[in-house]
């Protein structure tokens, strides 16, 4: 039988000796043995129990609730590990959610070509939050079929961590700087080619669906959750793509 001193258990579990003594005082985690000199020692089952206590605390349970929960269940290592895994999965989701929000702000500032952080935060509040697509489900159902909605959910959005979103941002900025060009010019046609290529990637070559999304976005004034482009960009790219299609298709 392996016994851990209070100091060893504190080090092993990244818990303070003071905390372990407090748990003993309130009856939450009693030592297996106390030596004649007053030293506390713990068996493996107490180590497992401490894992439960730490995980339940991290999840948000108060000590009184933890005391009750532990009093009415048998402990084993597998349960402790499963519980820890669930906690890590929860933390992973929270971290990704925060990372998504940061990417969203950074990408929006790049897309809007804003350098003033006050303006960036103002713009962020005006645009749809890409992590809340369910908000737009009712609107989508008014315009799209079930299969089309499934396809919409897969489209790249601001805040996504992917190459396609970076291509999209770069393309919009290039178009924004080129709206005064003749739509038939070589540079305008190269922009049209890049746009068509991105549409092919995003919609798996389904240009009919791409056109439907584009038209619905315009008619709804951006209320279906897609990024709302400036009118001058919309007009330019539509004319440039029309000419590109006439020449190449």
What confidence score (pLDDT) does residue 130 get?
46
Strand, helix or coil at 81? helix
At 117 the pLDDT is 66
pLDDT confidence band for 43 (50 / 70 / 90): very high
Spatial separation of the C-alpha atoms in residues 245 and 249, rounded to whole Å: 5
Selected from 3.30.1490.20, 1.10.10.10, 1.20.210.10, 1.10.1660.10, the CATH number assigned to the domain covering 4-75 reads 1.10.1660.10
Cβ–Cβ < 8 Å for 98, 105 = no
C-alpha dihedral sign at 59, 60, 64, 68: negative
pLDDT in the model for residue 135: 64
H helix or E strand, kind and range, residue 114 = none
The pLDDT value given to residue 131: 46
Residue corresponding to tokens 């619905």: 216
pLDDT at 203: 92
CA distance 46 to 43: 5
Contact assessment for residue 164 and residue 222, using Cβ atoms and an 8 Å cutoff:
no
Q: Please report which confidence band the pLDDT of residue 175 belongs to, taking 50, 70 and 90 as the band edges.
A: very high
**Highest averaged pLDDT of the listed ranges 25-29, 45-49, 88-92:** 25-29
pLDDT at 173 over 50: yes
Q: Quote helix, strand, coil % in the chain, to nearest 5.
A: 70, 5, 30
CA dihedral 132, 138, 144, 147 (to 10 degrees): 60
Q: Which residue has the higher pLDDT, 239 or 110?
A: 239
Count of C-beta atoms within a 10 Å radius of residue 66 = 20
pLDDT band at 141 (very low <50, low <70, confident <90, very high): confident
- Highest mean pLDDT: which range of 49-53, 128-132, 169-173: 169-173
Mean pLDDT of the chain: 85
pLDDT of residue 23: 95
pLDDT at residue 6 greater than cutoff 70: yes
Domain boundaries, the chain: 4-75, 128-248
Rounded (10°) CA dihedral 22, 27, 30, 33: 100
């Amino acid at each position: 039988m392996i016994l851990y001193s209070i100091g060893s258990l504190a080090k092993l579990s990244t818990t303070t000796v003071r905390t372990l003594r407090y748990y003993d005082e309130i009856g939450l985690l009693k030592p297996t043995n106390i030596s004649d000199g007053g030293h506390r020692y713990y068996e493996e089952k107490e180590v497992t129990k401490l894992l439960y206590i730490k995980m339940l605390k991290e999840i948000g349970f108060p000590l009184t609730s933890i005391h009750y929960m532990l009093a009415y269940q048998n402990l084993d290592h597998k349960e402790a590990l499963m519980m820890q895994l669930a906690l890590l999965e929860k933390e992973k989701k929270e971290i990704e959610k925060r990372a998504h929000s940061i990417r969203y702000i950074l990408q929006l500032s790049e897309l809007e070509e804003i350098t003033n952080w006050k303006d960036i935060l103002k713009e962020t509040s005006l645009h749809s939050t890409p992590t809340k697509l369910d908000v737009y489900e009712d609107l989508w159902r008014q315009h799209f079929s079930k299969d089309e909605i499934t396809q919409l959910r897969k489209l790249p959005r601001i805040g996504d961590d992917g190459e396609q979103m970076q291509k999209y941002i770069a393309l919009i900025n290039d178009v924004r700087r080129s709206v005064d060009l003749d739509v038939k010019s070589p540079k305008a046609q190269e922009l049209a080619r890049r746009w068509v290529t991105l549409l092919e990637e995003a919609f798996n070559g389904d240009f009919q669906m791409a056109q439907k999304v584009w038209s619905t976005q315009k008619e709804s004034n951006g209320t279906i959750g897609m990024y709302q482009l400036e009118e001058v960009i919309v007009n330019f790219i539509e004319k440039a793509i029309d000419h590109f299609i006439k020449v190449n298709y």
